[in-house]
Amino acid sequence: MSSHGDPIPMTSSKSGPLAGIAHVPGDKSISHRSLILGALSVGETRVTGLLEGQDVLDTGRAMQAFGADVINHGGGEWSVHGVGVGGFAEPEQVIDCGNSGTGVRLIMGAMATSPIVATFTGDASLNGRPMGRITDPLALFGTQAYGRQGGQLPMTLIGAAEPVPVRYTVPMPSAQVKSAVLLAGLNAPGQTVVIEKEATRDHTERMLTGFGAEVSVEQTDAGRVITLTGQPELKPQSIVVPRDPSSAAFPVCAALIVEGSDVLIPNIGLNPTRAGLFTTLREMGADLTYENEREEGGEPVADLRAKFSPDMKGIDVPPARAASMIDEYPILSVVASFAQGKTYMAGVKELRVKESDRIDAMAVGLRANGVEVDETEDSWTVHGLGPNGVAGGGTCATHLDHRIAMSFMCLGMAATSPVKIDDGGAIATSFPIFESLMTELGAAIRRDNR
Ligand code: S3P
């Protein structure tokens, strides 16, 4: 089952060359945060280039349920009339966050220190994911949570009526946990401190500062220490959402493996906490260049040019880079299948608790297409077969996971025989124009008649 309807089986066949300009949608992480922080500020926040994927639309609906006014003006232009920090109303209905871990976890943080009750649910993927990592730190503020066994959704949160500020060291590399604690800290008096041992994406810190909150970041021996002064009045902003490097990863990687390709992907955010995949690909010998490098809205941005790269070599991806490319390992494993030699990816056990167990989902699907993969709990190795070496011919289960679905579609574009997926429905959560964009570049992908 796709997240919001019947399964959509798809087939991807040997394609190419891929050529042209690929305008990918807005950044998913920044889109969620624009709506949530817009809802927590007083007045009208304007957002340009919002990702209109299902995950973000679900967050927009949730913000409305908490009392904000979220208006779609068309063409990626949105506005949010916020209710201010501590101003959330109690929702009348259950909040359905669909497929989105980012949505539900950030929203739980945002409501956790207001004296209201809310019940959260999602699709089968989201309802199987761990929420204890959020409710444990929220309990320190005084928030109560009642979920299913194992700390899973559906779950009811009772917000703290008299929240206390918190000092919390995030036990796993997770921007969602860090962000949930910071958003909860907004309505607690005094200073909330979050310590992360490894840097994860820093959009929440950057955006909170942009909305006028007092946030300081210090690098210490214990890690990154983020200090937020509670109960600010957030001021509405005009936000231009940069294009998503995690979505750009698909046309970039497809171009690298499809013979003769040359694709330009303009205006991609290259925040160092997000750009680890591109560094890795260049280390493998990919013909990937940054053109027109510049700064926009405080974020580094460039146009990416990716060309067919038949001479890529497998590498050991440094575990310290994992957080900066955590969503890109599935598509990296596809590129690694077309490189010479082994690609070893370690320090990645977080991949097991994403929209699916991404190590397992990719390993099973790659093996079904003739690629050898070894795995341990927190590492995996892909044995590359070179530019023409992947047989294909397999059918892959996508487990309601958009990135698994798009990765196998890219595999099929360069494999000898077509690759099938059981359901591409989840692609709409983050990259609703994936099929049309890739087809225009020259990809042979289609929905199957059932
Ligand atoms: C995200 C954080 C990451 C990432 C997800 C988006 C965010 O999750 O995988 O797609 O926007 O904060 P974790 O916090 O679980 O690492």
- Would you say residue 413 has pLDDT above 70? yes
**Distance (Å, whole) CA 12 – CA 392:** 10
Nearest CA to 58 out of 110, 109, 14, 122 is that of: 122
Predicted confidence band at 1 (pLDDT cuts at 50, 70, 90)?
A: very low
Structure confidence by residue, pLDDT tens digits, 2-16: 445 899 999 999 998
pLDDT of 297 reads 73
Full DSSP string of 151-189: TEEEEEEE--SS----EEEESS--HHHHHHHHHHHTTSS
What tens digit of pLDDT does each residue of 336-374 get?
A: 999 999 999 999 999 999 999 999 999 999 999 999 999
Res 231: pLDDT: 98
CA angle 384, 308, 252 (to 5 degrees): 85
Q: What is the mean pLDDT of the chain?
A: 97
Q: Is the CB of 175 under 6 A from ligand 1?
A: yes
CA distances from 332 to 249, 280, 360 (A): 9, 9, 14
pLDDT category, 289, cuts 50, 70, 90?
A: very high
CA–CA distance, 2 with 287 (Å, rounded to integer): 35
Helix axes 402-414, 245-257, angle to 10 degrees: 20
The residue contributing the CA closest to ligand 1 atom 13 is 174
CA dihedral 438, 440, 442, 447 (to 10 degrees): 60
In angstroms, what is the span from residue 176 Cα to ligand 1's centroid?
Answer: 5
| For the CA of 246, the nearest atom of ligand 1 | 10
Q: Residue 445 forms beta bridges with which residues?
A: 12
Q: Which residue has the higher pLDDT, 149 or 321?
A: 321
**Closest-lying ligand 1 atom to the alpha carbon of residue 201:** 12
**CA–CA distance from 211 to each of 41, 44, 239 (Å)?**
8, 12, 10
pLDDT of residue 450: 62
Residue 306 region by backbone torsions, left for phi larger than 0, else alpha for psi between -120 and 50, else beta: beta
Q: Does position 381 have pLDDT exceeding 50, yes or no? A: yes
The pLDDT of residue 274 is above 70: yes
What's the CA dihedral at 194, 208, 56, 292 to 10 degrees? -110
Would you name the residues annotated as active-site residues? 327
How remote is the CA of residue 333 from the centroid of ligand 1, in Å?
19
Residue 308 has pLDDT above 90, yes or no: yes
d(CA 297, CA 116): 35
Closest by Cα among 6, 87, 101 to 327: 101
DSSP letter, residue 418: -
The answer to whether 22 touches 437, Cβ cutoff 8 Å, is: yes
Atom number in ligand 1 closest to CA 177: 14
Per cent of the chain over pLDDT 70 is: 99
**Does residue 179 line the site of ligand 1, with CB under 6 A?**
yes
Nearest-CA residue for atom 10 of ligand 1: 327
Q: Is the pLDDT of residue 298 over 80?
A: no
Ligand 1 center from residue 235 Cα (angstroms): 25
How many Å lie between the centroid of ligand 1 and the Cα of residue 430? 13
Residue whose entry in the numeric block shows the structure tokens 């009811």: 156
- In the Cβ-directed half-sphere of 290, how many Cα atoms lie within 13 Å? 15
Ligand 1 atom closest to Cα of residue 32: 11
- Predicted pLDDT of residue 3: 47
Rounded Cα distance between 191 and 218, Å, is 14
pLDDT band at 195 (very low <50, low <70, confident <90, very high): very high
| pLDDT of res. 5 | 80
What is the pLDDT at residue 352?
A: 98
pTM to 2 decimal places:
0.97
Closest CA to 89 of 49, 116, 53: 116
Q: Give the CB-side neighbour count of residue 37, counting CA atoms within 13 A.
A: 31
Residue 247 Cβ < 6 Å to ligand 1: no
The average pLDDT across 117-141 equals: 98
Identify the pLDDT of residue 4. Answer: 54
- What is the rounded CA–CA span in Å between residue 290 and residue 288? 7
Please indicate whether residue 29, judged by its CB atom, sits closer than 6 Å to ligand 1: yes
CB atoms within 10 A of CB 150: 9
Rounded average pLDDT over 378-387: 98
